[in-house]
Chain A
Amino acid sequence: MLIYERESKGRSARAQYQPEQEITDLPAHCLRNERAGLPEVSELQVVRHYTNLSRKNFSIDGEFYPLGSCTMKYNPRGAHKAASIPGFLNRHPLAPERYSQGVLSCLYELQEYLKDITGMKAVSLTPMAGAQGEFAGVAMIRAYHNANNDFERTEILIPSAAHGTNPATGVMCGYKVREVDVTKDGDVDIDALKAAVGPQTAGLMMTNPSTCGVFERKVEEIAQIIHEAGGLLYYDGANLNAILGKVKPGDMGFDVLHMNLHKTFATPHGGGGPGSGPVGVGPRLEPFIPTPVVGKRSQNDADYYYWVDEKEIPGTIGNLSAFMGNAGILLRAYAYARLLGREGMHRVGEYATLNANYMARRLEQAGFQLAYSSRRATHEFIVTLSREARELGVNAMDFAKRLLDYGYHAPTTYFPLLIPECLLIEPTETESREEIDGFVDAMAMILREAKECPETVKGAPVTMPVKRLDDVKAARNLDLAWRES
């Protein structure tokens, strides 16, 4: 039932406002003639309606959520609370620096931590999500080539396993995108890369560990090939959780990267956002970094934090939003970093990897086929259900839907595109052995059901508020806003 279907004309949440005042000084043609048509409901109706809607949702707080490549780990409540302190919430984005030293000091320190963690020379916190970080990174690559009067570089190379945002970003930055094949072991095909690279290559965008759930073993050779051709190397930080504290992208030869703080730094995903996608750069791209960044100088024998803008960074690709980005998310990430500390940071990659390898092995023992069984899993791994689809007529989507009935959020399905009938599974370091065992047991049960009563699996889910939805109807008879019938 929609909030609109609960309304009664004339009802309202009157504690929230004083009466409307008459407007006498605006010309009539500027004024709205008819009410917009927002709901007319009481405050309790609103609270009850949205409380009940919240219950129709899987979430990390409620369920194991092993969505591959999304790093759905515990979002510490302490970090949420720290960022929700009134002094932070009430600060206007354009408040003078003198009255902003609290938030600026946190952001400055976060920049320093991220530089250390990634091995980069400079960090800008301003991109508002991973995809905007990608945009900033590739826009800097373009700015770099332009500054060198090198206008022949029209192409961005991307391994075929990459996230869809990578090719879409290349196009947003005005590049042609060329995909490079991946070998059957999950590494980039070096011969294919050598054949694709040339004077037209602006750069390569790469995720490492890749979306195949394996570490790219030849990353140094790849860096050399791209650099020798005059291109730059972009690190997509989607999978940074796997190597946090273990390997620094800067040491692998990357010139620029983005991080997904809503993954690696445990800030809440919020049902699809907000995210936060800071970028880090090596020396070559430092002159182009997006503004603003936070600087520090000594003033009256104390640290003074200030905004660094285009006056100090004349080559910058500029601002990417009206203000400085998702400060509230950055504060959560800062709080998370302080809670973890140096030692905790090293453990993230270690235990994320331990959990994934354990889970992969247990699923293999339960009769499932791993896509890269000869490789170490990183923080995630792929199960392929093509045999089950072929022999039992039960596919990856059916497994995913049936998992919901067992109380587990489904892994990522049908991605990466190059593995048929796949589930991309990422348990994260914050899950316990019992939780992982429970998921494996559920998968084993579903496999048994698939053999004995496949209709049960194909008809799943049956315990959710709705059964499988008609996506074709949704796209054909577009109903994107409610109208009174």
Chain B
Amino acid sequence: MPFVPHTLEDERAMFETIGVDSIESLFDEIPKKLRAGVLQDVPEGISEMELLRLMNERARQDEVDLCFIGAGAYEHHVPAAIWDLVGRGEFLTAYTPYQAEASQGLLQVIYEYQTMMSRLTAMEVSNASVYEGASALAEAVLMAVRANKKSKSRKVLCAGNVHPRYISTCRNIVTNQDIAVETVGWDDATGLVPPESFETWTGEDIAALVISWPNFFGGLDEVDRLTDWAHEQGALVIGVVNPMALSLLTPPGEWGQTGADIVVGEAQPLGIPLASGGPYLGLMCCKQAIVRQMPGRIIGRTEDLDGKEGFALTLQAREQHIRRAKATSNICTNQGLLVTAATIYMSLMGDAGMRAVASQSHNGMTRLLKRLTDIDGVTLRFQGPVFHEAAIRLPLPAVEVLTQMASEGILGGFDLGEVDESLSDCMLTNVTETKTDEDLDKFVRSLRRAVEG
């Protein structure tokens, strides 16, 4: 029997101890008419060998030669050591460190993660992570409404160039608590949210402002001005960041005069495979003054009875298993395994490695854009610098170009028409350090064929 170790002798001895004659008698408290019959839709079991053959066949169907899609999930080199280490049973099959003495390894990993993540974002504290980037934004908005003592508002402003699925996820979660997320439109020429457009809200009571860095189109907004404006209004600032970019770009803790208040983002670029969208890693940092409003697990360094250094879950009075209905969130898990992966990634890469990856990604994107605009009718949709991703305007609907390129084994980008009809002639394309000049050549040739026929 797969994964059930009982022999007939075991069963006999166990029945005798319990005082029953069959397993069936153990279910005698369940009303008869509720008992399930055979599971018709579940197939017969197969062996591990058959399973791996089946799964290899299926996985092969999904292979492509080159992928230039980003839009919130990025292909980076994943050092071999990471998943060998993360795959150790001691990490893989442990649970939430409720028994701190028997979980010091994982607790220390999370403490190191908190240290690295707070340094990367230049924020004072990090939690032990939440599910992923988009739901992290929802948690940040709920947190901001609780934490902003100057504001009575349940309204949050959100730059319209934040990832559209982040905005929808956020709304789907926070509207249940009567919080409104109002978006601020982006400028048609730059894709940025112009600080001037915020004058409409000057003087209004707003709980928080959400800004993305880089924004969904890869561009770089005026985060300093936006941060200072929000703080003048008494609003908190929530930064949505790509942690890979932060090795190069101004960290949110240094935006404007006093920095962002809450920072969230998707840490998938730090050693986590694309894997169809998850499991990923939601990073969440904040200023120390509002840490008691932060959701999720937090690890602290402390001492044991002998004064020896040790690590433990702390500030648990915020959490659902203690506070129940008064908790900061219903969140129960962190992404322990992905935290471990990201911590090992940041340790291996260091500042130098992350800056290398970020600069190669940026320069690769810049090189690709220069070559693309030689093709008739292909232009940059927005003016201004980008990090490693850009909206490219095409002379045909993006879906047609992308379908043609895909038939040559190249996923050329994300069809922006899927999120905004006015951008249906644009694709969002990303380059990382994984793309060689030869790959970029293939992309350009394929795009040229798709556009010129």
Interface-centre pick from A79, A215, A320, A409 (highest chain B CB count, 10 A): A320
B424 to chain A: closest CB distance in Å?
A: 16
Interface-centre pick from B317, B326, B350, B359 (highest chain A CB count, 10 A): B350
Tell yes or no: B442 within 8 A of A by CB.
no
- Which of these, B13, B62, B301, contacts A91 with CB under 8 Å? B62
Contact assessment for B44 and A343 in the assembled complex, using a CB-CB cutoff below 8 Å: yes
B28 contact set on A, CB distance < 8 A? 376
Q: Which chain A residue has the least Cβ–Cβ distance from B299? A: A480
Contact assessment for A430 and B5 in the assembled complex, using a CB-CB cutoff below 8 Å: yes
Contact assessment for A466 and B308 in the assembled complex, using a CB-CB cutoff below 8 Å: yes
B360 to chain A: closest CB distance in Å?
A: 6
Tell yes or no: B352 within 8 A of A by CB.
yes
Tell yes or no: B445 within 8 A of A by CB.
no
Q: How large is the interface on A (under 10, 10 to 19, 20 to 34, 35 or more residues)?
A: 35 or more
Tell yes or no: A251 within 8 A of B by CB.
yes
B72 contact set on A, CB distance < 8 A? 322-323
A170 contact set on B, CB distance < 8 A? 325
B222 to chain A: closest CB distance in Å?
A: 9
Tell yes or no: B23 within 8 A of A by CB.
yes
Tell yes or no: B333 within 8 A of A by CB.
yes
B63 contact set on A, CB distance < 8 A? 86-87, 90
Given the known interface contacts A26-B362, A59-B92, the answer about A270 and B336 at a Cβ–Cβ threshold of 8 Å is yes
Tell yes or no: B435 within 8 A of A by CB.
no
Give Cα A410 to B103, complex, Å. Answer: 12
Given the known interface contacts A273-B338, A322-B165, the answer about A139 and B176 at a Cβ–Cβ threshold of 8 Å is yes
A83 contact set on B, CB distance < 8 A? 55
Contact assessment for A12 and B75 in the assembled complex, using a CB-CB cutoff below 8 Å: no
Contact assessment for B350 and A112 in the assembled complex, using a CB-CB cutoff below 8 Å: no
- Which of these, A26, A319, A353, contacts B26 with CB under 8 Å? A353
A329 to chain B: closest CB distance in Å?
A: 6
B172 contact set on A, CB distance < 8 A? 139, 317-320
Tell yes or no: B382 within 8 A of A by CB.
no
B363 contact set on A, CB distance < 8 A? 21, 23
Contact assessment for B102 and A482 in the assembled complex, using a CB-CB cutoff below 8 Å: no
Given the known interface contacts A82-B55, A470-B303, A481-B115, the answer about A26 and B385 at a Cβ–Cβ threshold of 8 Å is yes
Contact assessment for B385 and A25 in the assembled complex, using a CB-CB cutoff below 8 Å: yes
Contact assessment for B220 and A273 in the assembled complex, using a CB-CB cutoff below 8 Å: no
Contact assessment for B312 and A474 in the assembled complex, using a CB-CB cutoff below 8 Å: yes
Give Cα A342 to B46, complex, Å. Answer: 10
Tell yes or no: A195 within 8 A of B by CB.
no
Q: Which of A255-294 contact B (CB under 8 A)?
A: 266, 268-275
Q: Which of B331-351 contact A (CB under 8 A)?
A: 331-340, 343-344, 346-351
Pick 27 A–B contacts, CB within 8 A, sort by A. A3-B347, A19-B356, A22-B359, A31-B250, A32-B249, A38-B346, A39-B116, A88-B275, A96-B403, A102-B61, A103-B62, A106-B58, A139-B172, A164-B322, A220-B31, A247-B34, A247-B35, A272-B128, A273-B279, A273-B334, A274-B131, A319-B169, A322-B72, A323-B276, A345-B42, A354-B23, A465-B310
Contact assessment for B2 and A339 in the assembled complex, using a CB-CB cutoff below 8 Å: yes
Q: Which chain A residue has the least Cβ–Cβ distance from B134? A: A322
Tell yes or no: B40 within 8 A of A by CB.
yes
Contact assessment for B291 and A480 in the assembled complex, using a CB-CB cutoff below 8 Å: yes
Give Cα A268 to B89, complex, Å. Answer: 9
Given the known interface contacts A22-B359, A41-B347, A128-B132, the answer about A75 and B93 at a Cβ–Cβ threshold of 8 Å is yes
Give Cα A247 to B47, complex, Å. Answer: 26
B405 to chain A: closest CB distance in Å?
A: 10
Tell yes or no: A357 within 8 A of B by CB.
yes
Contact assessment for A50 and B337 in the assembled complex, using a CB-CB cutoff below 8 Å: no
A343 contact set on B, CB distance < 8 A? 44-45
- Known: A37-B351, A480-B125; 7 extra A-B contacts, CB below 8 A, are A21-B356, A25-B366, A31-B250, A58-B102, A351-B4, A469-B312, A470-B303
Contact assessment for A468 and B101 in the assembled complex, using a CB-CB cutoff below 8 Å: yes
A342 to chain B: closest CB distance in Å?
A: 4
Tell yes or no: B380 within 8 A of A by CB.
no
A184 contact set on B, CB distance < 8 A? none
Contact assessment for B101 and A461 in the assembled complex, using a CB-CB cutoff below 8 Å: yes
Given the known interface contacts A85-B55, A94-B73, the answer about A471 and B314 at a Cβ–Cβ threshold of 8 Å is yes
Contact assessment for A469 and B302 in the assembled complex, using a CB-CB cutoff below 8 Å: yes
Tell yes or no: A390 within 8 A of B by CB.
no
A288 to chain B: closest CB distance in Å?
A: 11
Q: Which of B104-112, B192-200, B227-235 contacts A (4 or more CB under 8 A)?
A: B104-112
Contact assessment for A168 and B330 in the assembled complex, using a CB-CB cutoff below 8 Å: yes
A72 contact set on B, CB distance < 8 A? 93, 95
Contact assessment for A62 and B89 in the assembled complex, using a CB-CB cutoff below 8 Å: yes
Contact assessment for B353 and A92 in the assembled complex, using a CB-CB cutoff below 8 Å: no
- Which of these, B94, B315, B317, B414, contacts A271 with CB under 8 Å? B94
